[in-house]
A and B are shown apart, each in its own frame.
Chain A
Amino acid sequence: EDQVTQSPEALRLQEGESSSLNCSYTVSGLRGLFWYRQDPGKGPEFLFTLYSAGEEKEKERLKATLTKKESFLHITAPKPEDSATYLCAADYGSGNTGKLIFGQGTTLQVKP
C-alpha cells in the first residue's frame, strides 16, 4: 500500500536546539517529495520540492534531504517562530494527475 509516514508526531525543542523530522515513504515511482509548513488555522505553505535521491534544499534554518526511502527536514538553531506543523507529501505513480499522498504531520514547538 502506498503511504507516507512522518515521525515523530510531536517534537518539543528549546530555542537553538537543532533536530530533524523524518518522512518515510513507500510509494511506486516517486516523482516528487514536498514539504509544507502549516500554522494553526491556516492552509499549508509550500517549503520545498525534492525530486531525486541525494538532492538537498535549504531555506533559512531549514534543510530538506531525500533518500530512496525517506526525507528529512533538518532544523538548525530553531526559533519560536518555527513552531508549526510540518507536512510531507509524495507525488507518485504513472500519469500526470498531480495527486499527492500526505503524511500526518509533525507538530513542532520551540520554546524560548
Chain B
Amino acid sequence: NAGVTQTPKFQVLKTGQSMTLQCAQDMNHNSMYWYRQDPGMGLRLIYYSASEGTTDKGEVPNGYNVSRLNKREFSLRLESAAPSQTSVYFCASSEQSGNTIYFGEGSWLTVV
C-alpha cells in the first residue's frame, strides 16, 4: 500500500529551467493537493484539485501550473524556475475535500 508517491525525491535546477513533479495516489481519493514547505513559513497550498477534471489556485500559485491527468495522478510544473522556488514540495490527497489529507514523502527542489 504505497499511499501517495512523488517523483523525483531530489532535483537541482538552474534558473529558467522547467520541470514537472509527478504525484500518484493509490487510495482512490477524489481530491489532490500540492503544498510547499519553507523554513519559518509552514506548509502553504499551491494548487488543489477537488475532483478529477478540476483544479483551483491555492495560497501561492504564481510560477506554477498543474494538471490532473486522471483520478490517480496530479502533476506540478515549474515553467521557468526561480531561486524563490527552492523548497520542499508535498503532494497530498483526501477522499473528499474537507476529509483528512494524507501526504507523500516530499520532493526537495533546489534552484540555483
Contact = CB atoms under 8 A, between A and B. Distances in A.
Interface of A: 31-32, 34, 36, 41-46, 49, 87, 89, 91, 96-100, 102-105
Given A43-B90, A98-B48, A105-B42, A34 B56 contact: no
B31 interface: yes
A103 B96 contact: no
A91 B48 CA distance: 14
Given A96-B98, A97-B48, A102 B103 contact: no
A40 to B, nearest CB: 11
Contacts, number: 61
Interface residues of B, number: 28
B21 to A, nearest CB: 13
B33 A98 contact: yes
B31 A98 contact: yes
Nearest to B105: A43
A42 B106 contact: yes
